[in-house]
Structure 1
Amino acid sequence: MSVKRAGQMPVWQQIAGELRQAISDGTMPPGARLPTESELTERFQVARNTARQALTALVAEGLIIAARPRGYFVRDRRPINYRPQQEFMPQPRYLETDRFIAQHSAEGREARQTIEVSIVDPPEMVKDRLRLEAGELTVVRKRVRYLDGEPFNTNDSYFPLDLVQGTEIMRPDDIARGANEVLAENDYRQVRALDEFYVRMPTPEETRRLALAPGTPVAYHVVTGFTSEGRPVRTVLNVLPGDRHVIAFERTRPAQADS
């Protein structure tokens, strides 16, 4: 193929477009090795830097990975279904295993997570959602969840310190029955949750924790859980890389809507 050097689209974008199409239509399936910079240079009769720009763009889009010195390969994109409505469903009763690990291990994937627990003065957005007074502290459980060795998302859960002091939530371990059940056992059962979604570029800290490629957007999912009395008892900040998740909601048509 020859490129249009007098066109409005830069040559490197034309090359990236042809490679992107080959990935999209399955001509180059997951794991396939892309042409090298030298091969692209010869094929399109362009400078090596132009070929490199095309490949770099596809890396930034998350379509390919650079595995030097072996070359560039089509990324095996296996996004997971992220279902917020599953949160209040019964927790799987696996010893030392939470829902994320149980679900994806059952699918044959290597699932694990790291957990850090600390007592902190929370961010303002958490203070507002938990209706905390000045000086009130929270316990935060910071988790990074991995699938097949790749960090897939972060899950940072904040709880008012006075609600969870002395409970399992204070320990950096998996809670088999879930933190929500621990709250319920202490008379703070959540009966509803407010979900907020924002789509944006990641912060430097999020990029570090999730090993994000340049240009990868994230969905920022903020969940606040309330008791039947309307008290907010938990705020969770989830960061979901856009190339690793499909956000799926299930909705039921109310009976009165048919009348």
Structure 2
Amino acid sequence: MTVPHDETDGSDGRSLHARIAADLRDEIMNGDLAPGAKLPSTERLKERFAASNATVQKALGLLKEERLVIGRAGSAVTVREHRQRTMRPASYMAPADAGDRYRWLTEAEKLGPRAQSRLLRVAETVPPADVSAVLGLPEGGTALLRHQLLLIDDEPVELASSYYPLEIARGTLLTKRRKITGGTPALLAELGYPPRLSVDRVSARVPTQEQFTALRLPGDLPVLRTLRVVRSDDERPIEATVMVKAGHLYELQYEFTAG
């Protein structure tokens, strides 16, 4: 596809280098430019997009900042081997077996050699309105927050804020600022609240200041925000988690059966 030379053409108000980066980004994310593949040469990109050398280099610079490609000016630019990772939420919903690590960590290590979590904050707080609604809290009601950053190979993957009803959390390890063996699903099951049903609501958002900084985002690319409510017996809500990932680096895969 050839893009008009003008910086704006009335149909897409973004700068030409941003439009070039957007088209190449899409080809990287959908696999047309596979992990490890070389991007077309600067000359071919100049011809394809009717752009100057400086504009093409500026577009490639954006993709490098986004950690989608690697390479130096004047040399071949290639797609990173881990240009986009697929996360499968259902694979780590069940409680871990006794003594095992949190399932998110074991599943994430299939994508990279080292996964870890950093617990940032544990406190009683008023949740966001949508979280309060799914937990059935009154206006101004509080819940216990466990706020953590999840990483793969020291690269931030997900900022997760998990909220628990106080009548469940108080007096338990949930209130302690330390990691929980097997993760919170295992602890909730031990407390008599086994996870039975999880419902995800996924949306694309502009990152907040905290999300931008914690996830080391390169610009105003959207993030994927998942609001998950976990219910136990009698459909009682026992956990609501807001999970935020870089939209250009991660995708979510859900599997369904006909019925």
Aligned position for 1:63: 68
2:222 to 217, 220, 233: 217
- 1:173 paired to 2:178: yes
Letter in 2 for 1:98: Y
**How far off its partner does 1:61 sit?**
5.7
Residues 112, 147 of structure 1: 8 Å contact kept: yes
- The 5 A counterparts of 1:185-204 are 185-204=190-209
Q: Which has the larger radius of gyration?
A: 1
Distance in 2 (CA, whole Å) between partners of 1:218 and 1:199 is 6
Residues 94, 185 of structure 2: 8 Å contact kept: no
Distance in 2 (CA, whole Å) between partners of 1:220 and 1:17 is 21
Letter in 2 for 1:150: E
Aligned position for 1:54: 59
Superposed CA offset, 1:11-70 (max 9, x none): 7579769977997765x964979989xxx99xx9x87753543333434665335889x9
Residues 94, 102 of structure 1: 8 Å contact kept: no
In structure 2, relative to structure 1, the CA distance for the partners of 1:195 and 1:20 (3 Å cut) is closer
Aligned position for 1:83: 88
Letter in 2 for 1:181: A
- The 5 A counterparts of 1:31-180 are 49-59=54-64, 62-64=67-69, 74-94=79-99, 97-105=101-109, 109-116=113-120, 117-180=122-185
2:231 to 215, 221, 226: 226
Aligned position for 2:254: 249
Aligned position for 1:206: 211
Specify every segment of 5 or more residues in structure 2 that has no aligned partner in the other structure, as ranges: none
Distance in 1 (CA, whole Å) between partners of 2:111 and 2:97 is 15
Distance in 1 (CA, whole Å) between partners of 2:157 and 2:6 is 42
Letter in 2 for 1:241: A
Residues 124, 144 of structure 2: 8 Å contact kept: yes
Superposed CA offset, 1:165-193 (max 9, x none): 12111223332233123223333333222
Superposed CA offset, 1:110-135 (max 9, x none): 11110132221222222111111245
Give the number of aligned pairs: 246
Q: Secondary structure at the match of 1:172?
A: coil
In structure 2, relative to structure 1, the CA distance for the partners of 1:18 and 1:181 (3 Å cut) is closer
Residues 110, 147 of structure 1: 8 Å contact kept: yes
Distance in 1 (CA, whole Å) between partners of 2:247 and 2:140 is 35
> Could you tell me the TM-score, scaled by structure 2's length?
0.73
In structure 2, relative to structure 1, the CA distance for the partners of 1:222 and 1:149 (3 Å cut) is same
Distance in 1 (CA, whole Å) between partners of 2:213 and 2:188 is 31
Specify every segment of 5 or more residues in structure 1 that has no aligned partner in the other structure, as ranges: 255-259
Letter in 2 for 1:123: P
Q: Secondary structure at the match of 1:129?
A: helix
**How far off its partner does 1:139 sit?**
1.1
